[in-house]
A and B are shown apart, each in its own frame.
Chain A
Amino acid sequence: MIRSLPRSRGYTMGYGLYVALYFVFLFAPLAVTCVLAFNDSQFPSLPWKGFTLDWFLADLPARTGIFHDRGNLSSILTSAQTAVLVSALATLVGTCAAFLFEQEEFPLKGALYFLMLAPLVVPGVILGISILIAATTAGTFMEDVLGIDVGILRPGFWLVVLGQFSFITTFVTLVVSARLKKFDRTLEEAALNLGATRLEVIRYITLPFLRTAIIGAGAVAFLMSFENFNTTLFLVGSEPTLPINLYLQVRDGSTPVINAISFLLIVGTSLVACVNLYVGRRTEVSS
């Protein structure tokens, strides 16, 4: 049954086989995508026609590798810009929210906490359309009543940033809160008794304690933003983010360039994930 108990041979083998199959199921689509990025063929399919780096490097009429593909490159740039802004904003506000819910007392705290959790149970599509509607209403109001045209409120880069920020901040709040719960508050009291102001306590004592949690949350926020599809779908304007751009290409047929981009994404996210796990484990050990 478990590692300390005797098990029958058939049980162990059967169970091991199930888990092995599960891992095959888990990695098959990713492995196939990566391998076919290097196939010397016009289509991302077998048979294997030899190894090539064309889908990364080529700049030929029949084949444009990802490093020369303007459309995809500019969508990667858009995604990166969005993700940097969203993760910075979400980390800032999420850390404020963590302090607010862990260390402050105020009326209606329970209600506000519940509201903070709401984005977890609101489907991303709904969040997208709500923000689209609200921004349009606000934009029309501004134009009709005040006579000013606010470009931010039209679908486009800034609306995507706002939409992603609205739910990613909840994740940051939860991660930072979890760390803040472990903080020994007598340290703050000692500093306050020694004459530090509340802000100095936060600046010199609490924030350094939270540093790794904040960096980790920021990294996760970056990835969530970079890969978001559901909310972004409704808010995107003329500059598509990478997931939207890839979706449009996949829907209308595929070329191995998509495999090449996927390969880069898989390698990139795995690296971020490994660094994040490594940093997380180190703080776990040290605390």
Chain B
Amino acid sequence: MSAVAASKAGPGLRLTLALFLTPVVLWLGLLIVLPHIDLLIMSFRMDPSFGDEGWSFENYRQFFAEPIYWLTFVRTAGYSVLVTLLTFLVSLPVAFYVTKVVARNTSRFLLTMLLLPFWVSELVRVYGWMILLRESGVLNHWLTGLGITAAPVEMLYNDATMIMGLVYTSMLFMVVPLVSVLESLDDSLIEAAYDLGAGPWTIMRTIVVPHCMPGIMSGAIVVFMLTLGNYLTPNLMGGKNSLWFTEQIYNQFIASFNWNQGAAFGFLLLALSSCIIWLGLRLTGQKLSRVVQ
């Protein structure tokens, strides 16, 4: 039946293929493939102002030779893993509560409330934390007012606050996939386990988490990628000591104007993020195309 329809519309079909294919190929070719090839080429060349136009590994050698560069890189990667883990631990109970514990009509409302803040620009949310936490901030006003602390404490510009800010920024990308996998988990499985004598912890470990694995993975991938590539939150909440790798890239491009070095840094960050995502997919045996759905 469908073969008949297809053959009847033969030339038309080729026309629509061309019509749909052209913009997509232009988009992916000119704006995704070509720029990344150019990034790679740039990273293997020297700054033309040094006169040397040939290929070289100098930019990568520089990265390993200068501890501040690779330490920042390792630190960013480590903290991104930590943020991903923390985001998961904070979000799972909330996602479970919203989908399984609370009454069904309240669930809809809570879910909407959960998503609402994330429609607002990241900058506004970070700014909110800044006026809450800084030395002249709202929290300090209350703490000194209540006599808990004698003098205002600077709560911004340290690693703990930066991590909290990154977790806050990423929560949505964990909660949404978790909610959608939890909704597909049949309540009777949990009831059966309960009837057979399993406690909450056992149920979590043997039923809920294994069932949620695809959601956990897709959430973790997005959170990790966004944290690794975040610039705003470390820059504004971590202050001068944030040492986030994206800032190194920014400095090379905008401050030092050494694009070749910056390109090498960018490529290293891209490689790291791709590797960890690939590893995560391999470990849980999933495909990228399934995870993003």
Query: By the criterion CB–CB under 8 Å, are B289 and A117 in contact?
Result: yes
Q: List residues of chain B with CB under 8 Å of any chain A CB.
A: 1-2, 4-5, 8-9, 12-13, 15-17, 19-21, 23-25, 27-28, 31-36, 38-39, 42, 90, 93-94, 97-98, 100-104, 112-117, 119-132, 136-138, 141-142, 168, 171, 187, 190-191, 194, 200, 203, 221-222, 225-226, 228-232, 235-236, 246, 249-250, 253-254, 259, 262-263, 266, 269-270, 273-274, 277, 288-289, 292-293
When the two chains form their complex, are residues B24 and A137 in contact, meaning their CB atoms are under 8 A apart?
A: no
Report yes or no: A113 in contact with B289, Cβ–Cβ below 8 A: yes
Size category of the A interface is: 35 or more
A223 to B119, CA, bound (A): 8
Q: How far is the CB of A260 from chain B (nearest CB, A)?
A: 12
Contact present for B20 and A254 (CB under 8 Å): no
| Proximity string of chain A (108-131) to chain B, C-beta cutoff 8 Å, 1 when within and 0 when not | 000011111111111111110111
Whether B35 contacts A131 by the Cβ 8 Å rule is yes
Q: How far is the CA of A33 from the CA of B102 in the complex (A)?
A: 30
A-B contact pairs, 10 of them (CB 8 A): A1-B203, A26-B171, A29-B125, A30-B120, A32-B128, A36-B138, A133-B263, A199-B12, A270-B119, A273-B116
Given A15-B93, A121-B221: A97 touches B20 (CB 8 Å cut-off): yes
Query: Which residues does chain B contribute within 8 Å of A43, judged by CB atoms?
Result: 136
Query: In the bound complex, do residue B38 and residue A114 qualify as a contact, i.e. CB atoms below 8 Å apart?
Result: no
- A104 interface residue (CB < 8 Å to B): yes
Docked Cα-Cα span, A189 to B38, in Å, equals 45
Closest B residue, CB atoms, query A169 = B27
CB <8 Å contact, B100 and A273: no
> Chain A contacts of B132 at CB under 8 A?
28-29, 32
Question: Is the CB–CB distance between B23 and A92 below 8 Å?
Answer: yes
Interface string of A226-238 (1 = CB under 8 A from B): 1101100110000
Q: Which of A5, A131, A193, A266 contacts B194 (CB 8 A)?
A: A5
What is the chain A residue whose CB lies nearest that of B112? A277
Q: Are A22 and B90 in contact (CB under 8 A)?
A: yes
Closest Cβ–Cβ distance, residue A10 to chain B (whole Å): 12
Other-chain contact of B168, A1, A25, A199 (Cβ < 8 Å): A25
Which of A44-52, A59-67, A68-76, A208-216 lines the interface with chain B? A44-52
Q: A45 near B97 (CB under 8 angstroms)?
A: no
Q: Contact check: which of A129, A166, A202 meets B27 at CB < 8 Å?
A: A166
Asked whether, in the complex, the Cβ of B38 is within 8 Å of the Cβ of A121, the reply is: no
Contact with A122, one of B12, B250, B270 (Cβ below 8 angstroms):
B270
Verify A250–B129 contact, CB threshold 8 A.
no
Contact residues in B for A137 (Cβ distance below 8 Å)? 38
9 shortest interchain CB distances as A-B pairs: A123-B229, A29-B128, A130-B35, A134-B35, A166-B31, A198-B12, A100-B20, A227-B121, A46-B141
The answer to whether B102 and A3 have CB atoms under 8 Å apart is yes
Give the nearest-CB partner of B262 in chain A. Answer: A129
Contact B228 A123 (CB under 8 A): yes
Cβ contact of B21, chosen from A106, A126, A127, A198, cutoff 8 A: A106
Kindly list chain A residues whose C-beta atoms are within 8 Å of the C-beta of B203: 1
The docked-state distance in angstroms from the alpha carbon of A231 to that of B189 is: 45
**Once the chains are docked, how many angstroms separate the CA of A4 from the CA of B191?**
8
Chain B residue nearest to A129 (CB atoms) is B266
**B28 near A112 (CB under 8 angstroms)?**
yes
**B113-A125 in contact (CB<8A):** no
Task: Judge whether A2 and B101 touch: CB under 8 Å.
Answer: yes
Distance from B115 Cβ to chain A, minimum over Cβ atoms (Å): 7
Given contacts A3-B104, A104-B16, A230-B231, 6 further A-B contacts (CB under 8 A): A22-B94, A32-B128, A118-B32, A121-B221, A193-B4, A234-B250
Q: Which residues of B contact A226 (CB under 8 A)?
A: 121
Docked complex Cα distance between A23 and B12 (Å): 54
Instruction: Please give me the residue from chain A that is nearest to B127 by CB atom.
Output: A250
For the complex, give the distance between the alpha carbons of A284 and B34 in Å.
Answer: 39
Question: What are the residues of chain A within 8 A of B19 when measuring CB–CB?
Answer: 96
Q: Quick check: A130 and B90 within 8 Å, CB to CB?
A: no
| Chain B residues whose CB sits within 8 angstroms of the CB of A46 once the complex forms | 138, 141-142
B38 touches A134 (CB 8 A): yes
Residues in A with CB closer than 8 Å to B35 are: 127, 130-131, 133-134
Query: How distant is the Cα of A222 from the Cα of B54 in the complex, in angstroms?
Result: 43
Contact status A198-B13, CB under 8 Å: yes
Residue from A29, A120, A121 in contact with B129 in the complex, judged by beta carbons closer than 8 Å: A29
> How far does the alpha carbon of A117 sit from the alpha carbon of B291 in the complex, in Å?
11
What chain A residues lie within 8 Å of B31 (beta carbons)? 131, 162-163, 165-166
**A233 → chain B, closest Cβ, in Å?**
7
Given contacts A96-B23, A123-B270, A230-B229, contact A33 B127 (CB under 8 A): yes
Is A247 in the interface zone, CB < 8 Å from B?
yes
